[in-house]
Amino acid sequence: MSSSAIIVGAGIVGLATARALSIRGYKVTVIERSSKAVGASVRNFGMVWPVGQPDGVLYERAMKSRSVWKSVADSIGFWYDECGSLHTAYYEDEWQVLQELYDAFKANGRPVQLLSKKDVLEKFNGVNENELIGGLYSATELIVDPRVAITSIADYLKEFLEVEFIWDAAVTEVQTGKVKAGNTIIQADLICICSGADFETLYPEMYKQQQLTKCKLQMLRFAPLEHDWRIGTAVCGGLSLIHYNSFKVAPSLPVLKERYSGEMSEYLQWGIHVMVSQNEKGELTVGDSHEYGLTFDPFDQSFINELIIQYLRQFMICNDWKLVQSWNGIYPKSTVGQTEIFVQAEQGVYVVNGLSGAGMTLSFGLAEELVEKM
Ligand SMILES: Cc1cc2nc3c(=O)[nH]c(=O)nc-3n(C[C@H](O)[C@H](O)[C@H](O)COP(=O)(O)OP(=O)(O)OC[C@H]3O[C@@H](n4cnc5c(N)ncnc54)[C@H](O)[C@@H]3O)c2cc1C
């Protein structure tokens, strides 16, 4: 008889773990407390973003995830766009960093191109030409629409891998070999807890030892004037250069950061950097800010959204874009720089969490590695 596994949580981490166990022969059941996933996994940009991961294990993990995303999407038929990414430079110090990144990435075999202003404007739509110097294009980034993709992955797991889903069932207790959801006890050989930002409910004492905090991000969605208008890639302004670990290889990055600290302190205070992704319908997802803590003010701050829009105007021509939605999302984040939490809470019970702002990029690859250790 095959071994059985229960996954708590139907966000991307739970779904990726369910997939990895299922293809290794486990009979998997996913238990989700809501009637559909409504956590960080459906609130993000949908950016599968290897360019943000440093060389080595994390970049390889991101590239592995990318290939799994494509194969799952091709099997069940949800939209994705292998549109790559463009980091833009409007100041000489940003351009200097992009040139250094180009050299470092190229040396490690990454598919990047340094584009002049003319190249950027010829290749892509909507990029603001005023003061534009050039951009760094990377071919590895892939965009999905998380609101569609997360539901579709669950459908894929049901249809192709016979994973069972129990929705609207909060798991309130876990012990070796069994979980309790409502009045029902469900048994399994292996239990994986992938509960995202809720690390208060199950094993709270274990979590207290993990040096985790939470991060709240504000996001915006715009509709373009013309439905079939496309940028052609995902675009970032200069502030994103100080956000991703992979960019630390640029020797000039500290100088750039120092200028931003002096001239853009409010942006740094609220952790704002601005990126744009475009979904199948042409809608533009724009964000974000980063506030840290265990409890947040539940209300979004309009001045943060205004700062985001003001910065967006520096690199995108967006006056015609119509603001259609705003929301926030929360993810757990290590305070000591860990890229994930993987803990055996007790015999046969594992916790996978803390993928921070890279869960869409890393989950599929990470799950492949972790199930080998379970
Ligand atoms: C605004 C925003 C933008 C982001 N952009 C990107 C991006 O573009 N690219 C990228 O790679 N990453 C991005 N991220 C990060 C990424 O979204 C997260 O790392 C990832 O979604 C975390 O997935 P998860 O499964 O751990 O959490 P979640 O998606 O929150 O899923 C956890 C699930 O567990 C369920 N659950 C919790 N407790 C229980 C219980 N007791 N019983 C049953 N169910 C339970 C919850 O209901 C929830 O559905 C972004 C995050 C945010 C917030």
Domains annotated on the chain, with CATH: 4-64+146-210+338-373 (3.50.50.60), 85-139+212-334 (3.30.9.10)
Q: Where are the alpha helices (DSSP H) in 4-132?
A: 12-22, 40-43, 57-76, 92-107, 117-123
CA 1 / ligand 1 centre spacing (Å): 33
Atom of ligand 1 nearest to the CA of 328: 1
- Per the DSSP assignment, residues forming a β-bridge with 34 are none
In testing the pocket of ligand 1, which one of 331, 355, 356 has its CB within 8 Å of the most ligand atoms?
331
pLDDT of residue 115: 98
- Give the confidence band of 86 by pLDDT, cuts at 50, 70, 90: very high
Confidence of residue 76 (pLDDT cuts 50, 70, 90): very high
Q: Give me ligand 1 centre to Cα 116, in Å.
A: 37
Residues 137-152 have a mean pLDDT of: 98
Task: Quote the pLDDT of residue 2.
Answer: 84
Nearest to 85 by CA among 135, 144, 43: 135
Which ligand 1 atom is the nearest neighbour of the CA of 9?
34
Q: Cα(332) to centroid of ligand 1, in Å?
A: 9
d(CA 37, ligand 1 centre) in Å: 9
pLDDT at 1 over 90: no
The average pLDDT across 78-83 equals: 98
Task: Scan for tokens 């250094």, then name that residue.
Answer: 100
Residue with tokens 């609207």: 168
In ligand 1, the atom with minimum distance to the C-alpha of 150 is: 29
Residue 81 has pLDDT above 80, yes or no: yes
The residues lining ligand 1, judged by C-beta closer than 6 Å to any ligand atom, are 8-14, 31-34, 37, 39-41, 43-47, 49, 170-171, 194-198, 201-202, 217, 219, 287-288, 329, 331, 353, 355, 357-361
Query: What is d(CA 215, CA 243) in angstroms, rounded to the nearest whole number?
Result: 14
Q: What mean pLDDT do residues 341-350 have? A: 97
Cα–Cα distance, 30 to 193 (Å, whole number): 10
Confidence (pLDDT) at 224: 82
Among 331, 348, 344, 357, which residue's Cα sits nearest to residue 9?
A: 331
Residue 308's H or E segment, with its range, is: helix 302-315
What's the CA-to-centroid distance between 94 and ligand 1, angstroms? 32
Question: What's the average model confidence in pLDDT over 153-158?
Answer: 98
Ligand 1, atom 9: nearest CA belongs to which residue?
47
Residue 38 CA: which ligand 1 atom is closest? 49
- pLDDT score recorded for residue 226: 83
Average pLDDT over the chain reads 97
Supply the DSSP symbol for 54: P
Tens of pLDDT, residues 20-58 = 999 999 999 999 999 999 999 999 999 999 999 999 999
Please tell me the least confidently modeled range out of 89-93, 141-145, 222-226, 370-374.
222-226
Asked if the model's pLDDT at residue 59 lies above 80, the reply is yes
Give the mean pLDDT of 175-202. Answer: 96
Distance, CA 231 to ligand 1 centroid (Å)?
Answer: 27
Question: Atom 19 of ligand 1 has which residue's CA nearest to it?
Answer: 359
Q: How far is the CA of 190 from the centre of ligand 1 (A)?
A: 21
Over the stretch 213-253, which tens digit does the pLDDT of each residue have? 999 999 999 998 787 899 999 999 999 999 999 999 999 99
pLDDT at position 256: 98
